[in-house]
Amino acid sequence: MSNAKLIISAIFFAAIFMFLPIETASADTCQSENGAVVDDFPYNEANRQGACQTPASYYEFFFKTFLVCEGFPILPSLSNCQDIKITPTAVKIKGDSSTSMDGLLPLPGTYTYSVSTVSPVVKVAGAVTFESVVLAGAAPGTDSWSSGRYCQQKPGNFIFSEVVAESYDWHTGNTYCRSTPFTEAEITPSTITLDDFLLVGSQYRATNHPTFDPSQDFNAVAITSDNQIAQAGSEVESLFLVQKLAQPVNILPSHNTIEFTYSLEQGLANSRSCTLGGDVDDLDSATCLLTWFWMGGTNTRFRTY
């Protein structure tokens, strides 16, 4: 295999990281008026989780490996895949950003899947303006619910399996709101460890579908250090991201560059189905809001030349 230049680019960053949990079809983009999200659903209305998605400012994640595969990848051996042998690299995706890195060109052949192995620890930053006042977790350093029209991801570290939307309180909520806008410099990331793919319930699941499923165009799997599917959050070493290519890619001996392009579609979702307690239900008649990490649409392509 010869040296190759790998180019990672993000287009149509409207934007959700490509492998976050999903249990239902992708949610609708938020309706906006005059730059504010129209969000007038009662917090206790049934089945509203993830119904509205908005862009994030950026995502940062750590790529460990890139592979291309002749068919659905075989775990744990990956015997039908070619490792591009990149140097593990942190990548921040925003706007039309792109990153280049060196690697090895796969052997000539026809490949139908692309695979990324990334750290389960993801950074995400984002802010949303709402038409009406909403409730969220507390601002950093405070100990009561926050409220306001201007909301952003709260800086902090969150482990997905330990934070369930229905049991959020001011301490665990990864969003906070206030009455004045955030400047760009004030929008700071939170860090989430994606060790689970169930939004609710205590049962652990290491896949974004009920199983590691070759019938799906996209699979995300929490794996151990020896490429086995994890049986508990504590075992998770990496996230294994499998994308079926829209068209097979034929690598020829004359090629020397591989370009991956991620169309990152959809965004941070507003979860309205949360339980509050005490007298906070009546605080300015605010809607209960928890901005949540949600899986929207995604499309991965690669080409060689």
Q: Where are the alpha helices (DSSP H) in the chain?
A: none
Mark 30-67 as b/e (b = at least 16 C-beta within 10 Å).
Answer: beeeeebbebebebeeeebbbbbbbbbbbbbbbbbbbb
pLDDT at residue 288, as a whole number = 54
Q: Report the alpha-carbon distance of residue 288 to residue 275 in Å, rounded.
A: 8
Q: Which of 238, 245, 203, 201 is nearest to 222 (CA)?
A: 238
pLDDT at residue 25, as a whole number = 33
Q: Give me the residue spans of the domains in the chain.
A: 3-304
Q: CA dist 144 to 24, 141, 277, 280, Å?
A: 32, 10, 12, 9
pLDDT at residue 228, as a whole number = 97
pLDDT at residue 149, as a whole number = 87
Count of other CB atoms within 10 angstroms of residue 144 = 10
Burial class (CB in 10 A: 0-12, 13-18, 19+), 216: middle
Cβ contacts of 89 within 8 Å, gap of 6 or more: 62, 63, 99, 101
Q: Give CB contacts under 8 A, 24+ apart, made by 43-48.
A: 43/135, 43/272, 43/273, 43/274, 43/276, 43/287, 43/288, 43/289, 44/272, 44/273, 44/288, 45/272, 45/273, 46/273, 47/273, 48/271, 48/272, 48/273
Q: Report the alpha-carbon distance of residue 164 to residue 197 in Å, rounded.
A: 11
C-alpha 240, offset from chain centre? 13
Task: Split the chain (305 residues) into runs of 10 and give each run's mean pLDDT.
Answer: 46 29 45 76 50 73 90 97 89 71 84 92 85 80 84 83 62 82 90 81 85 92 96 94 88 81 57 50 50 49 70
pLDDT at residue 295, as a whole number = 42
pLDDT at residue 292, as a whole number = 55
pLDDT at residue 198, as a whole number = 77
